[in-house]
Amino acid sequence: MSQKFQASVHHRDDVSYVKLAGVIDEDNELTSLTDKIPAGTAVIDLGEIERINSCGVRDWVNWLTKLEGQATKAVLVECSPAIVAQINLVNNFTGSGVVKSFYVPYFCPDCDEEKVLLVDASDMGPPPHEPPTCRCDECDLVMDFDDMADSYFAFLSNQKKIAEPDKINGVIKEFAASDANDKSKVRSRASSTSLSGASISSLPSVPSLPSISRPSGSQPKIAPKSSSRPSIAPVTGTTQPGMRPVGSFQGTNPGSRPSGMSIPGTNPGTNPGAPAFGASIVGDRPVSQPKSSMVIYVLVGVLIVAIGVLAVLLMSS
């Protein structure tokens, strides 16, 4: 389940450090943060934003506009791939602010592992922009960039310079150091850390369904129940047309049967609990014949009755 919207604000002189996490949707609380951020510079950490929908984009743009109206400059740091996608899609998503750092997604096809690498925008250089090299922790091979470089790094073409970068770096180092996951530039793409330090999943957890496959023409296997009767092996081998396969009993020769067991066609009175005529034994349960066999029996019975009636009419005439 996606994490709900969370926010925290810290201050150092005229710089505010705003940490956002979870999902920015229609239930966000961005408006309530406006009064907590004074004029100056607002360093907004977006590394743990898992998702943002259309309502969240609308509220985000309006919120940045209010901050700029009270003379607050926004500096976006650790922008998650979800935020980078919106920056490239929405022209005024950053307002008059600037992106200082962002995460780049990678994928290892050999290990099926996903990662994001924190990259400083100033280190990307002039266009065309290429993703930095990232190695897999499992196989140590170079991972594949999990997006299209032209579209993912498009926002860097209009990138602005950051005023007072040393002051910004000092605030980030002071307040971001409390988050254990932020100590490394590489983190798992499948999970992140909430404001309270608890692990949350960036994608909803979906239980995997068991694979159901059955060879064509084969009988399903039924686990034997615990009883005094010996278990019966699955039906195997070929059968003649119009005849049912007869299973062999485990531990006995084919065609033989252990004591206490009955086979179709025997007299039910000789063995209490034996299946009725026309039933087959599968495991410990009698299974009725298919409907096609019952239809044949009914037709034969009707034919016999018709012959009897015809004979009586002939004899009486």
Say if CB 50 and CB 80 are below 8 A apart. yes
Residue 177 to residue 184: CA distance in whole angstroms:
10
pLDDT at 191: 38
Does 46 score more than 90 pLDDT?
yes
Higher-confidence residue: 210 or 314? 314
Break the chain into its structural domains and give their ranges.
Answer: 6-201, 280-317
| pLDDT tens-digit map of 81-91 | 999 999 999 98
| CA-closest candidate to residue 148, choices 65, 81, 58, 218 | 81
| CA-closest candidate to residue 121, choices 85, 90, 158, 148 | 158
Alpha carbons within 13 A on the beta-carbon side of 52:
27
Topology of the domain covering 6-201: Transcription Regulator spoIIAA (3.30.750)
Does 75 score more than 90 pLDDT?
yes
Residue 25 DSSP code: S
Residue 135 to residue 147: CA distance in whole angstroms:
16
pTM of the complete model beyond 0.75: no
pLDDT at 248: 41
Main-chain dihedrals φ then ψ at residue 316, nearest 5 degrees: -80, -20
Say if CB 250 and CB 230 are below 8 A apart. yes
The string of DSSP codes covering 217-248 is TPPPP-PPPSSSSPPBPPP-S---TT----PP
- Confidence band for 159, pLDDT divided at 50, 70 and 90: confident
| pLDDT tens-digit map of 250-280 | 444 444 444 444 444 444 444 444 444 444 4
| pLDDT tens-digit map of 114-128 | 999 999 999 998 888
